[in-house]
């Protein structure tokens, strides 16, 4: 045999024995640790609110704990890596963070062919009620356990994995009930069979088996549950009561949204409206300018909206792993409007929500009720914070999903991790609302009247909070 061929054969044999490729869906310990280092350094470089609530020390402790877990293994499955690392992002206490497996359908990342075939909601006692099911016989039952794990334990795990501003558990609970089957699949589920213990309103338990369904079928089931309108609309409950549903703060163009506001408040101005109900439940945000535009239409006095905006990175070269990041093209231009303060903070000076603002000419000056829930977030919570600070009306429902003192949002820097291929999205700006200093900065806008739906309301698809506001 040719000696060169022999050497090649021996090399191949040695390589195959010494470095067997990992099975699909796994990466090596070293690769996982490298991804973890990139995550930490990128958050420290880019995220403007890492210590907004004094949370940075907890972030570092959690990082060390996760690093030890990964170091104890030769390799790690991607789903296990996702579940292991996700709590590190939670410690940043920012609801705008993104941590996404590649090419996935948010938030159905795993077990997409077999998810729990139910839609659930929390009742007024925070029990998890089945409101829709592939098998109608299960509707009206409470989930007591799944595959031997108590619902209390399941909810603890899910709450520990929800991205929320500060310490707002109303946000975590709202996200959990919105996509319970997805979150269970992402963070707990091991296979596609489900053995549940259900409890009825009398406290009697029964054990049932459920077969999983695809995410597409789950979405169809979810649509069958009557929920809030996803469109911005104005209706008159009577000549004296107007109901303004603001489902989102975006449109095909800002002009289209502003036109909707102009048309709505012109219509209100033409009627003897004494009570305006503004419903922002489920509104997760949009264009930040539009929240200020809405408030200007109910303002009684001149007002401030943003107090200031902070950033962590001034230039592209301040980002260590910039070669694996998408950084918006206009980021370079934005540096001209960033000024370093004597205390070292970097303030962004160019935003139309900064400074003083005046009410619109036909601003509504009467009574206002704000309908709020744990998904009232981002631009929505900024709008609500100013309204609360200005004592502009009564807040009904639950604590908002977004923080009273502001949020971290704006544009995003998006990193592609080299080994796992997970995407990490980091907001670049910390927005501070022009409000009086709150006693609890890590909380949202608190309701004046907390209203929660009963099981009967949920099963009959009654709008408990709107009904309360009406009466």
Please report the pLDDT score of residue 330 as a whole number.
Answer: 64
Q: Are residues 202 and 298 in the same domain?
A: no
Question: What's the CA gap between 410 and 241, in Å, rounded?
Answer: 35
Q: Are residues 301 and 246 in the same domain?
A: yes
CATH number of the domain to which 295 belongs: 3.90.226.10
Q: Are residues 237 and 384 in the same domain?
A: yes
Which domain range does residue 132 map to? 118-223
- Domain boundary at 172, 200, 223, which? 223
- Domain boundary at 170, 196, 223, which? 223
pLDDT at 16 over 90: no
| Nearest in space to 391 (alpha carbons), one of 421, 370, 377 | 370
Q: Are residues 150 and 268 in the same domain?
A: no
Question: Percentage of the chain surpassing pLDDT 90?
Answer: 88
Report pLDDT digits (tens) over 93-128.
999 999 999 877 899 999 999 999 999 999 999 999
Q: Is residue 65 situated within a structural domain?
A: no
Please report the pLDDT score of residue 329 as a whole number.
Answer: 74
Q: Is residue 3 situated within a structural domain?
A: no
Q: Is residue 101 situated within a structural domain?
A: no
pLDDT at 274 over 50: yes
Question: What's the CA gap between 306 and 376, in Å, rounded?
Answer: 18
| pTM, rounded to two decimals | 0.92
Average pLDDT rounded to a whole number, residues 366-387: 98
Q: Are residues 398 and 249 in the same domain?
A: yes
| Nearest in space to 79 (alpha carbons), one of 33, 24, 157 | 24
CATH number of the domain to which 188 belongs: 2.30.42.10
The count of structural domains within the chain is: 2
Average pLDDT rounded to a whole number, residues 225-238: 94
């Amino acid at each position: 045999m040719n000696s060169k061929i022999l050497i090649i054969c021996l090399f191949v044999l040695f390589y195959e024995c010494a470095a067997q490729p990992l099975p699909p869906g796994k990466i090596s310990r070293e690769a996982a640790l490298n991804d973890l280092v990139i995550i930490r350094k990128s958050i420290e470089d880019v995220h403007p609110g890492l210590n907004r609530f004094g949370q940075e020390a907890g972030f570092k402790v959690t990082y060390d704990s996760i690093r030890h877990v990964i170091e104890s293994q030769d390799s790690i499955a991607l789903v296990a890596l996702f579940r292991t690392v996700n709590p590190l992002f939670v410690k940043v206490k920012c609801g705008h963070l993104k941590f996404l497996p590649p090419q996935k359908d948010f938030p159905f990342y795993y077990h997409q062919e077999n998810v729990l075939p139910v839609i659930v909601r929390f009742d007024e006692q925070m029990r998890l009620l089945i409101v829709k099911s592939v098998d109608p016989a299960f509707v009206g039952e409470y989930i007591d356990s799944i595959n031997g794990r108590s619902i209390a334990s399941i909810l603890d795990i899910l709450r520990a994995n929800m991205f929320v501003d500060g310490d707002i558990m109303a946000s975590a609970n709202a996200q959990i009930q919105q996509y319970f089957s997805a979150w269970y699949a992402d963070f707990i589920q091991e296979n596609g069979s489900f053995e549940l213990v259900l409890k009825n309103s009398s406290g009697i338990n029964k054990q049932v088996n459920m077969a999983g369904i695809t995410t597409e079928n789950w979405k169809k089931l979810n649509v069958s549950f009557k929920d809030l309108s996803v469109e911005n609309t104005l209706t008159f409950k009577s000549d004296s009561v107007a109901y303004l549903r603001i489902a989102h703060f975006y449109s095909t163009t800002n002009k289209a949204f502003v036109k909707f506001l102009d048309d709505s408040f012109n219509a209100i101005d033409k009627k003897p409206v004494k009570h305006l109900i503004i419903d922002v439940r489920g509104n997760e945000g949009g264009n930040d300018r539009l929240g200020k535009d809405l408030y200007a239409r109910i303002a009684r006095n001149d007002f401030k909206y943003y107090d200031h905006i902070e950033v962590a990175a001034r230039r592209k070269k301040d980002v260590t792993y910039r070669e694996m990041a998408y950084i918006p093209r206009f980021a370079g231009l934005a540096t001209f409007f960033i000024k370093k303060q004597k205390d070292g903070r970097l303030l962004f000076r160019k935003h139309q929500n900064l400074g003083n603002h005046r009410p619109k000419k036909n601003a509504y000056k009467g009574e206002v009720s704000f309908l709020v829930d744990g998904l009232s977030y981002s631009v929505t919570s900024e709008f609500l914070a100013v309204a609360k600070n200005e004592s502009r009306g009564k807040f009904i429902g639950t604590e908002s999903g977004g923080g009273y003192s502001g949020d971290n949002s704006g544009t995003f820097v998006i990193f592609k991790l080299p080994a796992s291929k997970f995407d990490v999205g980091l907001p670049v700006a910390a927005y501070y609302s022009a409000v009086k200093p709150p006693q609890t900065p890590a909380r949202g806008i608190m309701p004046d009247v907390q209203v929660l739906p009963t099981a009967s309301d949920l099963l009959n698809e009654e709008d408990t909070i709107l009904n309360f506001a009406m009466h």
